[in-house]
Structure 1
Amino acid sequence: MEMNVLLLVLHISGIWASSNNTSYKDLLQGYLTGQLSSALGSYQVEALKREFKSFTGLMEKKFEEFKEKIDHKMNENKGKNQACNESSNIKNEKYRTSSVAYTRWGKKTCPSGAVLVHSGFAGGSFYTHSGAAVDPLCLPRDPEWGIYKDGTNGGKAYVFGAEYQIDMKNDYMSSVYEHDIPCAVCLVRHRSVAKMFPGRKTCYKGWKLEYNGYLMAGYHGHTAGTMYSCVDSQLDTLHGGHTNKNGRLFYLVEARCGSLKCPPYVEGRELICAVCSKK
C-alpha cells in the first residue's frame, strides 16, 4: 500500500512539472505579495483560476486512472487467493472423505482406529490342485446367493477353508496347528493407501501401523500356487475348527540365501510383516 501511495505522489509531481507552472506560480506569488497592479492582477488572477481549474481536472482524471489500476490489481490478487483457497479446500475434502480397506488375516476383529466391515473365514483353493487360484479370500459369515444348483459336478472352480500349518518350537504358535483361520475386513478412514511390508514389524516414516505379524504362504512343494499374506502375530482360531481337513494351507515363510542377500537376511529365519496405512 505504501508503494502505491508513493507512486501516486510521484505521478502528481510529474503532472505539476509538465504544466505551465512557471506562469501561474509566479502570478500567485505576486498576487499574494501585493506586487501586481489592481487591473493587471485581476486579469492574471482569472487566468490563474482557469489554469488551476484545468490542472485540478487533469489531476482528477489521472487519479481515477490510478484508482482503476489499483482496483484491477487487487481483484487479480483476490482471484489468485480464491483459487489457492479452493485448491486447498479440495485437498482437505479429499483427505476427509478418503478411506481404504484391508484384510487382517488370523483375526476376528480390527485394530483400534479401524472399522470392522465384516468378520469371516479365510479360504482359497485346495493345496494339491494344479489349477488353483492363488489369492486367499476372506469369506463372510452371512453369504448371499444368486442362481445356483447344489451338488458338485467337477466343471467348476472350488473354494475351501484354510488351516494354519505352523510347526515351531513355540507353545503358543504350535497350539494353533491345523486350526481353521479367521479373518476380518477393516476400513480405516482419512487414509489414501494401505500396504503390506514384508520383513518389517514397524512402519516407515509417514506411515501408520495397522497390525504386524508373520509372513505366510503355501508350502513350496505343493502343486497349488499361492500368494504371500501377512497373518496377525496374535493368532485367533475359529470355534470348532480343530480338525485336519486341509484346504488352503498357511505356512510360515523362511528366508533362503543366494539371490536373496544375506545379510541383511538370515538363512532359514522366519519372516515377519507389517500392514501400514498412509494419508
Structure 2
Amino acid sequence: MNGQQQLNYTRIAEAIDYIKNNFKEQPNLDEVAEQVHLSPFHFQRLFSEWAGTTPKKFLQYTSIEHAKKLLKDQQATLFDTALETGLSGTGRLHDLFVNIEGMTPAEYKNGGKNLLINYSFAESPFGNLIVASTPKGVCYMAFDDDEEKALNDLKAKFPNAVFQKKKDLLQQNGLFIFQNDWSKLNEIKLHLKGTDFQLKVWDTLLKIPMGQLSTYGNIAEQIGNPNASRAVGTAIGSNPVAFLIPCHRVIQASGNIGGYMWGNTRKTAIIGWESAKTDILEM
C-alpha cells in the first residue's frame, strides 16, 4: 500500500469510526466529510470508490438497527435466508471452499515441525495483510501494516516450521476473494491448526451467508452445544485466517458489533463492504 492509499484508508477508517460512534445522530455527508478534512464532493467520491457504496448507505448498513434487523430475519434458517436473497451461489462463501483440513496431532503438538510454509504480503480494501500456506492449504491470514511484526506473529504460531517468502496458487486463490470478479475463484483450501472444537466452530462460521450476521449463542446452537457461547467466543477469537473464515459476521445478541482481533473499525468496514456487495449481487 503506497502513501496515498494508506492516507485514503486512514481517512475512511476515521470516517467509519465517526459514523459508528454517532449513528444515533445520523450525521449527514457534510458533517462526516468535515471530520476527515475533505470537501463533501471529494469525500463522497473517495468513500464510494473504497467501500463500493455511498456514506449514507454505509451508515444504514453498519448501524445497530441494521444489525438487529439481520438477527431478526434469522428466525428463518440461514440457508433459507441465503436462498431467498439470491445468495445460493458465489454469495455464500462456504460454497467456495472444498474443506477445512485439520493438522495431524503430531503437527499440532510439534508446532509445525517438518512443515514448509510459504508466506507473502498483500493489499486488501481493509489494509495490508500477510497470508501463509502449507502444501495443503492456507494456514494463516492476518491484517497488519507492520511486515516484521506480521511475520513474527506467524512464526509464533508455527515455531518449528520452515518458512520461505513465496506467493503460491493457494494464497492467490484465497486473495481473489477481495476482487469484484469472483469468476476467477477456483478452490480455496484451508489447512488449520486447532482443536476439534475450534475446527467445528470455524467450519460453522463459513456457513453464515455474506451480508448476514449471527451471534455467539446462535453458533453454539448450530454446533449442538447451546450452553457453550463463551467457549464459542474463545474459538472465534482464535481464528487464524482473517476474512476467509468470517468471524467478522458474529456480533453480540444485543446487536452491538462486539470485538474483533484486527480492530472494531475494520470489522465495521468489512460488514458494510459485504452489505454493499450483497446489494450488487441482488441487482
Task: State if a TM-score over 0.5 links the two structures.
Answer: no
Higher-helix-fraction structure: 2
Specify the TM-score bucket, using the shorter chain as the normaliser. under 0.3
Work out which of the two has the higher radius of gyration on C-alpha atoms and give 1 or 2: 1
TM-score, scaled to structure 2: 0.19
Higher-strand-fraction structure: 1
